[in-house]
Amino acid sequence: MAIPPELIDEVLPGADAAVLAEVVKVLEQSPQKPSRETEASSLPDSAARQVVELKVKSVVFGKVDATVKVVKPEGAYALREGNRGPFVLGKDDKGAVQILGRYGPDTWPEGLVRDAAKKHGRA
């Protein structure tokens, strides 16, 4: 059974920015770890870490450039050029900009991100 995404109210307090953006380039793709079951024909349990370039269409809150390089941690999804939607951004333990949340740009609809930003005094 899949784990549901975190609640936006749990993620937003640790965020530095939220943007509406499109993935324009995959800059780095870490090697995919093999599945626990070597004979499994399904997708791996976790998609590898990526570094992608986002073209920002609009900013919900925070300060970001028109394009931003971000880390997509190892997780339940992979990004590809053309993925678009709201991205909630924070910093990883090394200070790099990182996408927060479990599933990617379609985890939370734009309206939910905007409403949560207002609720938390971020917009």
Q: What is the mean pLDDT of each run of 10 residues along the chain (123 residues)?
A: 79 95 96 65 72 98 97 90 96 92 85 95 88
In contact, 77 and 101? CB cutoff 8 Å: no
How far apart are alpha carbons 99 and 89 in whole angstroms?
A: 5
Note the pLDDT of residue 12.
93
Note the pLDDT of residue 6.
86
Note the pLDDT of residue 59.
97
Note the pLDDT of residue 47.
87
- This prediction has a pTM of 0.86
Q: Which residues face 55 on adjacent strands?
A: 22, 67
Q: What are the chain's domains?
A: 8-29+46-119 (2.40.50.120)
